[in-house]
Amino acid sequence: MEIVFTNPANLWMLVTIPLLIITHFFVLSALKIRAFRFANFEVIKRIVGPVGNERNVRMISSNTLLFLLRVFALLFLILAAAGITLWYQGRGSKFSYAIAIDASSSMLATDISPNRVEAAKNAAELFVKQLSKAKVGVIDFAGASFVKQTITDDMSSARASISNIEVENVGGTAIGDAIITSTNMLAQEDNARVIILITDGQNNVGADPKEGIEHANNENVVIYTIGIGSEQGGTFIKTELVSKLDEETLKMIAEQTGGRYFRAADEESLQNAYAEIAAVSTQKLSLKLSAPFILVAIILIFIEWTLLNTKYRTLP
């Protein structure tokens, strides 16, 4: 469970609470001096009684309840203005996915038929086709990341964008950049946020994956990683180069964001990985508290106003 703020800059207004406390006690002290200077003890005796009730006198003079109501009303209003949101683990029925597919040249290796990139695309399209109550965005990445489809609930458009992915001409594998781009895509979504990252290589350009992990955690995004490629590896573009999968990094990315790592050595295991991700129902869910906090603040202000005009009314 975690509390985050969508507008944390507004938290500076919390400085008004200690100012309110200081002002309250300063004014209270001044009023006590004036009360003793001009007190009508005969009237006080008739109100309090012949013996008097010291506790009631102290409560009335300090207005403690009214003071607390004001402080808490102000606190709830400030937290609401800061966009307070509670994130927790729960069963989600609505998800927003960002599918990030490696489109570097090594994905042309044919150890998975017909090649890695086509197998990844086919499995992703099947995954999207089976989704319900979800939104999907698509990116591909090589030495840089490219948005192919912004978040949408139009599954036909999402599948078409996956189908149109081709190997990019930008050399390298920027896993960190892919995570950051995918997280930015999901940042405004109210649904549970999930990245599915498919790659066959090692991060060798762009942002460090740890930067991507930190950014994803700040936005409460879960990342499932899929390492694609056979045990023996595969060559590509008529060369003897063999792409190597950095499983340790992919495991770290998944574990540190609450996801899971899958190894896809063939097309069947790739489809099974997608099926397991689709079956997951426990995710990070958000509860926006700004509206309830505003309602609580209004109720506290109303209670204070009522007491101020009844029990704590000042006699002229």
**What is the arithmetic mean of pLDDT over 16-20?**
86
The more confident residue out of 131 and 240 is 131
What pLDDT score does 59 carry?
43
pLDDT band at 8 (very low <50, low <70, confident <90, very high): confident
Alpha-helical regions (H) of 39-174: 41-48, 54-62, 64-81, 116-129, 155-163
DSSP label at residue 107: G
- On the question of pLDDT at 164 being above 90, the answer is yes
| pLDDT at site 203 | 86
| pLDDT per residue as tens digits for the range 217-229 | 888 899 999 998 8
- 131 pLDDT exceeds 90? no
Q: How far apart are CA 291 and CA 228, in angstroms?
A: 45
Is the pLDDT assigned to residue 42 strictly greater than 80?
no
The larger pLDDT score, comparing residue 230 to residue 235, is at: 230
- In this structure, which topology does domain 91-285 adopt according to CATH? Rossmann fold (3.40.50)
Q: How confident is the model at residue 124 (pLDDT cuts 50, 70, 90)?
A: very high
pLDDT for res 201: 76
Q: What is the spatial distance between Cα 59 and Cα 225, in angstroms, rounded to a whole number? A: 61
What pLDDT does 312 receive? 65
Portion of the chain with pLDDT greater than 90, in percent: 32
Task: Record the pTM.
Answer: 0.65
Residue 162 banded pLDDT, cuts 50, 70, 90: very high
pLDDT of residue 188: 87
Beta bridge pairs of residue 286:
87
Q: What are the two backbone dihedrals, phi and then psi, of residue 132, each rounded to the nearest 5 degrees?
A: -140, 150
Highest mean pLDDT among 31-45, 174-188, 234-248: 174-188
pLDDT band at 306 (very low <50, low <70, confident <90, very high): confident
Give mean pLDDT, residues 240-247. 70
Domain parsing of the chain, residue ranges: 2-83+289-308, 91-285
Of the pLDDT bands very low, low, confident and very high (cuts 50, 70, 90), residue 107 is confident
Using the predicted structure, report yes or no on whether residue 184 has a pLDDT greater than 90: yes
Residue 281 has pLDDT above 60, yes or no: no
Distance CA 165, CA 161 (A): 7
Backbone angles phi, psi at 237, to 5 degrees: 50, 45
Looking at residue 36, its pLDDT comes to 52
Average the pLDDT over 92-109 and give the result.
86
Q: What is the mean pLDDT of residues 239-252?
A: 76
- Beta strand spans in 115-231 (E): 134-141, 145-152, 192-199, 221-228
Res. 280: pLDDT tops 90: no
Can you tell me the mean pLDDT for 105-119?
A: 86
The strand pairing partners of 134, in sequence order, are 95
The string of pLDDT tens digits covering residues 44-94 is 555 555 554 554 444 444 577 888 888 899 999 999 888 888 876 655 558
